[in-house]
Copies of this chain bind each other. A is one copy, B any other.
Amino acid sequence: MARVFTALGDEHRQRILLLFDKGERLNVGQIAAASTLARSTVSHHLKVLHAAEVLCSEKIGKEVWFWINRRWLEETLDNVLAYVRQNC
């Protein structure tokens, strides 16, 4: 769960997340095209986001499609918010 905050605590990764429209899936090429970073760098950030379970992915043919793990994000933020309300 702590990994989520690390993942979200980077400007480029935040930009990547903001690319996604509601329920949209994007492949690496689309994400890289919208970024100023090199493809391999984008790949690195996607790995971090995936490891934090913020993004899900599925490989279809040659392409890998990513989408936001809304459920996990919501659950994590909800838990932290509940903790704050109860203990802070």
Contacts and interface: CB of A to CB of B under 8 A. Distances in A.
Interface of A: 2, 5-11, 14, 20-23, 68, 70, 73-74, 77-78, 80-81, 84-88
A17 to B, nearest CB: 9
> How many monomers of this chain does the complex have?
2
B87 A22 contact: yes
B2 A9 contact: yes
B84 A77 contact: yes
Contacts of A73: 84, 88
Given A74-B85, A78-B81, A88-B68, A9 B11 contact: no
A1 to B, nearest CB: 10
B5 A8 contact: yes
Contacts of A88: 20, 22-23, 68, 70, 73-74
